[in-house]
Amino acid sequence: MEFSSSSLYLFIFTFFIYSVLVDLVIARGGEGEHSFNHSGSVDHSHGRHLFGETPPSVDLSHGYMSNTELEKAMKQFAHKCSAISRLYSIGKSVNGVNLWVLEISDNPGIEEPEPAFKFIGNVHGDEPVGRELLMHLANWLCNNYMTDPLATLIIKNVHLHILPTMNPDGYSLKKRGNANNIDLNRDFPDQFFSVNNDLGLRQPETKAIMSWLKKIHFTASATLHGGALVANFPWDGSENQKKVYYACPDDTTFRHMASVYSRSHYNMSLSKEFNEGITNGAAWYPIYGGMQDWNYIHAGCFELTLEISENKWPNSTELLTLWEYNRMSMLNLVASLVKTGVHGRILSTECGQPLPASVIIKGINYTVKAGDVFGDYHRLLAPGEHYEVTVAMPGYESKTTHILVEDEAMSLDFVLDPEGLQKRKQVRTDCSSSYQVELWGWTMMEVLFLAMVILAFFCVLFKRKTIFHKQRQSVVAQKRAVIV
């Protein structure tokens, strides 16, 4: 077949237009979740790739649990591991799907002076790996309780809450947003912009999370996402909306938490895109209305955003491998709540009742509150640092001490005195009868304190002859200290 010169020119012009359009499509794709090079691998040359929708060309959900199957698996787990778990719902999605949570603890459903941690998966509907890995985590803990030291440590000392899917509707629709097409990780009140401050405009899934955190005081948290491989920490946005490192008050502690996850991961810390496999959110790509920053500001909860798979929806045959890659990271992050930082209780000298006092660290503009029931606090801090700790409570005299947080947790209790004689009498009047027992005009607390002093005196006398013949051991980090 022969071509005329005009046909040849038309062919060249058509090919040129086609090439331009292809280039535009590729450039547009770079603004989404990921762009791909010609070999099919992920191209990380763009910023924070969190906005693309999964192409519906194939059934990517094959091998993944449906919402119905996930609910069934959670109910089966709660039955199989009933001694260490309970199943409850925090609300429903737009389409009425229950947001089921598994609590794993040696005393599930019972408030204790222990830290609480939550894992949330599937915030974005097209990022389902987290929901699968969280069920693997639950089953591993159940199967290894009382045989594996790490599983036993977590179950005995932490209340772990697992929400495998925050966005079941988005998962069913295979799209990022919920059934109302709202990105749930842009739907929380934000410190820099007031657009999300009207609670009535929030999505039901968002409201469920906010109500959940009013009921349970979580010490720390992590959400599982897909599309990259990095541990992200606050702040997620900056005041001027620029892509710049924007540190929160606990930046050092958050860097430590992110590093715990990254270093325990199979290859996250080896990232060529993110130094040590961690990143400040605003430095990566600023977002607003995110759940991570809201947790830290409004709920006293230290939350990380974990990108655990470069492919948002990998083939289901890869799920076991991804679980093995992330298993130790997930376990070590939860265990870090009790293996590092400073923990203790705050009590009154008058009656011994718990005080919901504030724990203040000099140089860190962030306050942690002790619990109402037990007066327990759990202050996450980066190890290897000296800290000045102050405990304050209205109506009581503040107390301050200096500590060195090493590689293990420190236990530090505070006993606060009421301010002034009149307030002391008032507090004594308000105490329960169990604290008002008196002996020869002395309260039971005073008698016990005197007995402890006498006992300590005789112990010193008894050990006096041997104390000079052996070297004193250094104080271990987990030894309990009391500031009175």
Q: What angle do CA 331, 151, 315 make, to 5 degrees?
A: 50
Amino acid at 445: M
Assign 58 to helix, strand or coil: coil
Query: Would you say the C-alpha torsion 461, 466, 469, 475 has a positive or negative sign?
Result: negative
Among residues 91, 77, 84, the alpha carbon closest in space to that of 105 is found at 84
Shortest CA distance to 338 belongs to which of 81, 108, 109, 113? 113
DSSP string, 423-438: HHHHHHHHS-GGG--E
Q: Helices in 30-148 by DSSP H: which ranges?
A: 67-80, 129-144
The torsion of the CA quartet 287, 292, 293, 294, rounded to 10 degrees, works out to 110
Q: Are strands 35-36 and 228-233 parallel, antiparallel or unpaired?
A: unpaired
Choose, from 112, 307, 397, 438, the residue flagged as catalytic: 307
Residue 402: count of CB within 10 angstroms of its CB? 9
65: which DSSP letter?
A: P
Question: Which residue, 116, 119, 81, is CA-closest to 101?
Answer: 119
The alpha carbons of the chain give a radius of gyration, in whole angstroms, of 27
Q: What are phi and psi of 373, to 5 degrees?
A: -80, -45
The string of DSSP codes covering 245-268 is: ----TTHHHHHHHHHHHHHHSSSG
Please say if 112 is a catalytic residue: no
β-bridge mates for residue 101, sequence order? 88
Query: Which residues are annotated as catalytic?
Result: 307
